[in-house]
């Protein structure tokens, strides 16, 4: 009886880790202190676990978790509601459709795979932003967002790989 309860608790805990990382990423990204003094956009730390765990462990990062992580990002950024939520879902769906291709990448290829998925998310946010305000936003912040996020994905990838191997790998289950 204890083993089944312990296993159930472990599976529940494992299911919360990726989503918790995404929520913590939103808090970290929207913390009111900037390293670049506002010169560069804040990285989308919440999108990184959505992409990584949506690719590596879709059982732990379902589409509804991507939607909620994006909605939390929308709430904290104070922008138009639903833009990042839809962008995160678009990134997740792209990752889901291209899972076989993206999962084959290693090393620098993993960063390039994230860059492509990030481009899908940022393009979705750009298009929704343009529709919301009925004008095209400037492209310079889009390029800066892409560059900042790709650079920050490298240490984030190390952290998420370590979390996957050390914490979640031993809690593998078939949901």
User: What is the per-residue pLDDT across 84-133, written as a single tens digit (0 to 9) for each?
Assistant: 999 999 999 999 999 999 988 888 899 999 999 999 999 999 999 999 99
109 in a domain, yes or no?
Answer: yes
Q: Considering the chain, what is the average pLDDT of its residues? A: 89
Question: What percentage of the chain exceeds 70 in pLDDT?
Answer: 90
**Phi and psi, residue 23, nearest 5°:** -65, -40
Phi/psi-derived region of residue 165, left when phi > 0, alpha when psi is between -120 and 50, beta in every other case = alpha
99 in a domain, yes or no?
Answer: yes
Question: Both tokens of residue 93?
Answer: 């769906």
pLDDT at 174: 47
Tally of structural domains, the chain: 1
pLDDT at 39: 87
13 in a domain, yes or no?
Answer: yes
| Reported pTM | 0.89
User: Can you tell me whether residue 30 is helix, strand or coil?
Assistant: coil
155 in a domain, yes or no?
Answer: yes
Question: Both tokens of residue 84?
Answer: 């990042």
Q: Which residues span the domain enclosing 82?
A: 2-31+41-171
120 in a domain, yes or no?
Answer: yes
- Residue 170: name the closest of 162, 52, 58 by CA: 162
Question: Both tokens of residue 18?
Answer: 């990726």
Question: What percentage of the chain exceeds 90 in pLDDT?
Answer: 72
The answer to whether residue 74 scores a pLDDT higher than 70 is yes
Band of the pLDDT at 18, cuts 50, 70, 90? very high
36 in a domain, yes or no?
Answer: no
Q: How far is residue 139's CA from residue 145's CA, in Å, rounded to a whole number?
A: 10
Q: How far is residue 48's CA from residue 152's CA, in Å, rounded to a whole number?
A: 9
Q: At 130, which helix (H) or strand (E)?
A: helix 108-133
pLDDT at 9: 67
55 in a domain, yes or no?
Answer: yes
152-168 average pLDDT score: 92
Q: What count of other Cβ atoms lies within 10 Å of the Cβ of residue 174?
A: 5
pLDDT at 52: 96
């Amino acid at each position: 009886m204890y083993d089944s309860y312990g296993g159930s608790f472990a599976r529940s805990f494992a299911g919360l880790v990726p989503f918790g990382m995404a929520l913590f990423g939103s808090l970290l990204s929207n913390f009111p202190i900037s390293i670049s003094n506002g010169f560069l956009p804040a990285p989308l730390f919440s999108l990184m676990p959505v992409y990584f765990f949506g690719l590596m462990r879709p059982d732990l990062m379902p589409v509804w978790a991507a939607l909620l992580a994006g909605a939390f990002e929308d709430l904290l950024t104070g922008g138009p509601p639903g833009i990042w939520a839809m962008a995160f879902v678009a990134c997740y769906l792209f990752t889901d459709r291209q899972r076989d291709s993206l999962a084959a990448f290693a090393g620098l290829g993993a960063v390039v795979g994230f860059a492509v998925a990030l481009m899908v998310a940022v393009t979705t946010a750009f298009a929704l932003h343009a529709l919301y305000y009925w004008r095209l936003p400037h492209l310079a912040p889009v390029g800066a967002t892409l560059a900042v996020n790709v650079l920050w994905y490298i240490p984030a990838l190390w952290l998420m790989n370590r979390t996957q191997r050390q914490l979640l790998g031993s809690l593998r289950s078939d949901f």
